[in-house]
């Protein structure tokens, strides 16, 4: 019997692939603050998958098409007067998801399919799923490696990048499509909402440990792969939903990082605050964005 003929082994390979691509794209998501968009994407691909199932085409294709439509919708809506990106994203999320539910409710087997979509079924992946996951992982790696420096510039200084002649709109769309490809591939394995955890939590945790993109990326991929594989074993050991276990592991890594990370962790910061109480800080982060008074120094 081949190694791949065992369902658990296939799940293991899938979790490694899914973990790698989520960790990679997570760095972009965290740096560009697109967690909410990722969330919306996980829901907006839903109607596409349902329609694909009904008319009998490839499910990934259906999800991908719906995702591209949603990405374009968010981009277009957020340009409206008085609509910030968060409103546009929430509208797209609600629209996509309710459309999916309505379409699905018109079918038989409503609850069973819906559950599979929400929490995934990594133990039933077949070799075709694995091939798709491998192809998407390879694609994401190649694209990110190719345009890494331009994406960095635009994420750091959007106005500067535009002034330098980069088409930031096109680059945004590229990132959104990458996110979307990862989401569409990951959702069938671990489910809509839990995909968000595997994308955001590892990169968020990595961000707390380092100030350099390269080490952040490596760390994020490591955390994501470990969470995915570890969660799979946990789910087998305790008979709990695999998607839930994977997300909880990833979230636990994030929580531990917020506490124990050097300099940025809660413990290190408390110690730092005590030390610094006598000397006022220089170069504090922008508090205004978080609704707090800006210190009178410097401005």
Residues in region 160-199 near other proteins by CB under 8 A: 160, 162-166, 191, 193-194, 196-197
Binding piece for other proteins, criterion CB under 8 A, among 3-11, 12-20, 59-67, 246-254: 246-254
| Nearest CB to other proteins, comparing residues 95 and 177 | 95
Q: Cα(87)–Cα(73) distance, rounded to whole angstroms?
A: 12
Pick 58 or 86: Cβ nearer other proteins:
86
Helix, strand, coil % (nearest 5) of the chain? Answer: 80, 0, 20
143 binds other proteins (CB under 8 A): no
Q: Which stretch binds other proteins (CB under 8 A): 16-24, 27-35, 53-61, 126-134?
A: 27-35
| Coil, helix or strand at residue 6 | coil
Residue 28 or 132: the one with the smaller Cβ distance to other proteins is: 28
Contact (CB, 8 A) for 66 and 48:
yes
Q: How far apart are CA 69 and CA 177, in angstroms?
A: 10
Complete DSSP assignment for 24-46: HHHHHHHHTT-HHHHHHHHHHTH
Using alpha carbons, list the distances in angstroms from residue 3 to 127, 251, 256: 12, 31, 35
Q: What count of residues does the chain have?
A: 299
Rounded alpha-carbon distances, angstroms, from residue 6 to 135, 232, 241, 242, 243? 21, 14, 19, 17, 19
Query: Which segment (12-20, 180-188, 201-209, 271-279) binds other proteins by CB under 8 A?
Result: 201-209
Q: Which is nearer to other proteins, 8 or 128 (CB)?
A: 8
Select the residue interacting with other proteins from 12, 69, 78, 153 (CB under 8 A).
153
> Which of the residues 58 through 117 are near other proteins (CB under 8 A)?
77, 80-84, 86-87, 89-91, 93-95, 97-99, 101-102, 104-106, 110-112, 114-115
**Cβ of residue 35: shortest distance to other proteins, in angstroms?**
4
Name which position in 7, 146, 267, 271 contacts other proteins (CB under 8 A): 146
Please state, in angstroms and rounded to a whole number, the distance separating the CA atoms of residues 80 and 41. 20
For residue 33, what are the CA distances in angstroms to 29, 139, 166, 175, 263?
Answer: 6, 22, 20, 12, 21
Helix, coil or strand: residue 253: helix
- Judged by CB under 8 A, the stretch of 13-21, 51-59, 130-138, 150-158 that binds other proteins is 150-158
Task: For other proteins, give the closer residue by CB, 103 or 177.
Answer: 103
Number of residues binding to other proteins, judged by CB under 8 A: 98
Q: How far apart are CA 155 and CA 171, in angstroms?
A: 10
To the nearest whole angstrom, how small is the minimum distance from the Cβ of residue 157 to other proteins?
A: 6
Which residue in 125, 208, 223, 232 binds other proteins (CB under 8 A)? 208
């Amino acid at each position: 019997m081949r190694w791949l003929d065992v369902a658990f082994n296939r799940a293991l390979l899938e979790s490694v692939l899914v973990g790698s691509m989520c960790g990679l794209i997570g760095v972009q998501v965290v740096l560009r603050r697109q967690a909410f968009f990722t969330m919306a994407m996980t829901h907006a691909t839903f109607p596409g998958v349902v329609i694909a199932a009904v008319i009998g085409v490839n499910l990934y294709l259906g999800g991908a098409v719906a995702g591209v439509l949603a990405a374009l919708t968010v981009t277009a809506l957020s340009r409206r007067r008085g609509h910030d990106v968060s409103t546009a994203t929430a509208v797209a999320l609600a629209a996509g998801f309710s459309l999916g539910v309505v379409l699905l409710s018109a079918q038989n087997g409503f609850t069973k399919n819906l559950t599979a979509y929400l929490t995934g079924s990594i133990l039933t992946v077949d070799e075709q799923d694995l091939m798709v996951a491998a192809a998407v992982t390879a694609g994401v790696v190649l694209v990110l490696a190719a345009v890494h420096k331009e994406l960095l510039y635009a994420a750091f200084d959007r106005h500067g990048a535009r002034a330098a002649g980069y088409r930031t709109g096109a680059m945004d769309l590229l990132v959104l499509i990458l996110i979307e490809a990862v989401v569409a591939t990951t959702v069938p394995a671990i489910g809509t909402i839990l995909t968000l955890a595997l994308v955001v939590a590892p990169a968020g945790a990595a961000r707390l440990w380092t100030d350099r993109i390269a080490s952040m990326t490596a760390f994020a991929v490591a955390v994501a792969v470990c969470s995915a594989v570890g969660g799979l074993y946990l789910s087998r050991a305790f008979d709990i939903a695999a998607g839930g276990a994977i997300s909880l592991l990833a979230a636990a890594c994030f929580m531990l990082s917020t506490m124990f990370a050097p300099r940025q962790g809660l413990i290190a910061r408390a110690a730092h605050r005590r030390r610094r109480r006598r000397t006022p800080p220089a170069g504090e982060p922008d508090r205004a964005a978080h609704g707090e008074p800006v210190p009178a120094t410097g401005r």
